[in-house]
C-alpha cells in the first residue's frame, strides 16, 4: 500500500519566500502545493484539498482573507486549518 503524504498548500506572492517554505516541507517528506495569489490558492484548495494551508495575507489578485472567505463556503474545505503569515 502506498504511503499517503500530508499535503500543504503555501500561498505566498513572494517567490523567494514561497520557495523557501516549500523546500523546508519537501525536505521533510510532505507533498507541497504552491500558489502565487489568493485566486490560485482558492482554486488549488478546491481541486486538491490540502491538509493545511499556509496563507499570506497581502497578495495580488485576491488577498488571503478574501481567499479564506471563499474557501470556507465549501463544506469539503471548511475545516482545513489555515495559518496566516
CA distance 45 to 54: 11
Using N-to-C axis directions, what is the helix angle for 38-48 and 64-71, rounded to 10°? Answer: 30
The whole-number pLDDT of residue 4 equals 73
Q: Nearest 5 degrees, angle CA 28-CA 22-CA 17?
A: 140
Give, for all 85 residues of the chain, the pLDDT tens digit.
557 789 999 999 999 999 999 999 999 999 999 999 999 999 999 999 999 999 999 999 999 999 999 999 999 999 999 999 8
This prediction has a pTM of 0.92
Radius of gyration of the chain (CA): 12
Amino acid at each position: 500500500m502506498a504511503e499517503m503524504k500530508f499535503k500543504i498548500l503555501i500561498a505566498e506572492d513572494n517567490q523567494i519566500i514561497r520557495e523557501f517554505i516549500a523546500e523546508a516541507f519537501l525536505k521533510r517528506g510532505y507533498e507541497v502545493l504552491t500558489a502565487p495569489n489568493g485566486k490560485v490558492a482558492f482554486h488549488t484548495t478546491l481541486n486538491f484539498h490540502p491538509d493545511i494551508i499556509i496563507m499570506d495575507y497581502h497578495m495580488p489578485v485576491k488577498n488571503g482573507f478574501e481567499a479564506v472567505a471563499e474557501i470556507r463556503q465549501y463544506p469539503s474545505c471548511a475545516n482545513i486549518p489555515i495559518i496566516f503569515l
